[in-house]
A and B are shown apart, each in its own frame.
Chain A
Amino acid sequence: MTRAPLLAIALLFTTLPCLAAEKGDAAAGKTKVYTCSGCHGITGWKNAYPNYHVPKIAGQNYDYLINALTEYKKGERSHPTMRAQGESLSEQDIRDIATYLSSITP
């Protein structure tokens, strides 16, 4: 009678970290950011028409990166180059890239 709730609690605590983490593979992400570095890897690189600096993305927060890439993939964010990049990425790619980028410190 008392064992069932205990088991449920034990199960909850063992699965919680898995649910919270659900992150990608940083090592795989490091190889997948090769294309990104064409713009995001050049210090001071600017977007043309309109003219503004391409954002710094290394060290950015994981969930924000997931949302941004997913929005580009779905066409909900309008930048043409990033939309094309987003479309080429699977959900696993996005998780791997976000995991790697968010792990970087300056």
Chain B
Amino acid sequence: MKRLFASLLITTLACSAGSAFAKGDIEAGKAKAVVCQACHGADGNAGTDPQYPRLAGQYHDYIERALHEYKTGDRKNPIMAGFATTLTDEDIVNLAAYFSSLPTKLTDLHDHVQGD
């Protein structure tokens, strides 16, 4: 019983730890990301035109979600639909792994609320 509990605990920990890191191939993502750079910047920080979001350091699974939504049309953006429809599921995972690995200018709102 103890052994079962221990193995369950290890499996659970392994799953939750694994989900915090991108599963994709960063190098393959980098190669695929060349077209993205025109708007999102060479460093992924979209420093020239504020209409485009910064991607560098964003959570990989949020980037994956956004790309899938553009691909299916759940999220409507003519520019992104054009790119996302050409991507395979593997491309999306790799791109998300690459952008989430870059030095970021993003953070969460922890310590940034009135009263903190």
What residues of chain A have their CB less than 8 Å away from a CB belonging to chain B? 30-31, 33-34, 36-37, 40-45, 50-64, 67, 76-78, 102, 104-106
Interface residue? B31 (CB, 8 A): no
The 3 closest A-B pairs by CB, nearest first: A53-B59, A41-B109, A61-B50
Asked whether, in the complex, the Cβ of A55 is within 8 Å of the Cβ of B76, the reply is no
Interface residue? B112 (CB, 8 A): yes
Asked whether, in the complex, the Cβ of B57 is within 8 Å of the Cβ of A56, the reply is yes
Query: Chain B contacts of A52 at CB under 8 A?
Result: 59, 61-62, 64-65
- The B interface is mostly helix, strand or loop, or mixed, namely loop
Q: Tell me which of A40, A42, A52 has the highest count of chain B C-beta atoms within 10 A of its own C-beta.
A: A52
On whether A104 and B112 interact (CB within 8 A), knowing A52-B59, A52-B65, the answer reads yes
Asked whether, in the complex, the Cβ of A60 is within 8 Å of the Cβ of B54, the reply is yes
* Number of residues on chain B facing chain A (CB within 8 A): 29
Q: How far is the CA of A45 from the CA of B57 in the complex (A)?
A: 15
Interface residue? B74 (CB, 8 A): yes
Chain B 84-108, CB-CB to A under 8 Å as 1, else 0, gives 0000000000000000000011111
| Nearest-CB residue, chain B, relative to A76 | B76
Asked whether, in the complex, the Cβ of B112 is within 8 Å of the Cβ of A56, the reply is no
Query: Chain B contacts of A58 at CB under 8 A?
Result: 106-109, 112
